[in-house]
Structure 1
Amino acid sequence: MHMGGRLVHRITPEDVGRRVSVRTTLPGGGFTDIVGVVESWDGGVITVRRRDGSAVEVEESAVAASRVVPPVPPRRRGGPPPRTA
């Protein structure tokens, strides 16, 4: 999200349905990061659904930086495949 020491906002409304990382400014200063899938982008409000199922609404004006990130890899079930004799 940094390019030469500068924060870059790279997502657009066309990224609805994609997994993103969004860095927002906090009211008292500083930043917080949200990672999830963009559910909607309406009226300057971005809704991001986190992996735990919670939804976070972010004012577009509070976004300091953002980018599309790769999907979460599928979890492997169980251990190694069973051994055959």
Structure 2
Amino acid sequence: MSSLMPPPQAFLAAAGLGTRVVVRYRIEGGTTDAVGELVARTDGDCTVRTRRADVVISLPLVVAAKQVPPAPPRRAPRTPPAGHALP
């Protein structure tokens, strides 16, 4: 039994703002992914807030999209072991 997945544009239209998503879309020379929080959408594009910046993606360029789990917590900065001085 197979389950049909909705087209990625339909998924993005139905996903609630604040949902963590990965969106694969076409760029010159291939495709790329944006992973982050879906923060806005219009009839023609969606905005994904990645760690680096908000990425506005034209919906006709989207080839795949899905919900992803929350990002893992960031690691604490490394500190040298006690008793070891830095040069």
* Fold in common (TM above 0.5): yes
RMSD of aligned C-alpha atoms? 2.2
- State the distance in 2 between where 1:44 and 1:78 align: 40
Consecutive aligned runs of 4 or more in structure 1 exceeding 4 Å deviation? 76-79
AA aligned to 1:23 is R
Q: Point out which structure has higher relative CO (alpha carbons under 8 A, 6+ apart).
A: 1
- Could you list the runs of 5+ residues in structure 1 that have no partner in the other structure? 1-7, 80-85
AA aligned to 1:18 is T
- Where does 1:1-85 land on structure 2 (aligned, <5 Å)? 9=8, 11-15=11-15, 16-28=17-29, 30-52=30-52, 54-77=53-76
The percentage of counterpart residues that share the same residue type is: 37
TM-score (norm 1): 0.68
Larger Rg: 2
Instruction: Indicate the structure with greater helix content.
Output: 2
Instruction: Indicate the structure with greater strand content.
Output: 1
Report the Cα offset of residue 66 of structure 1.
Answer: 0.8
- State the distance in 1 between where 2:75 and 2:32 align: 30
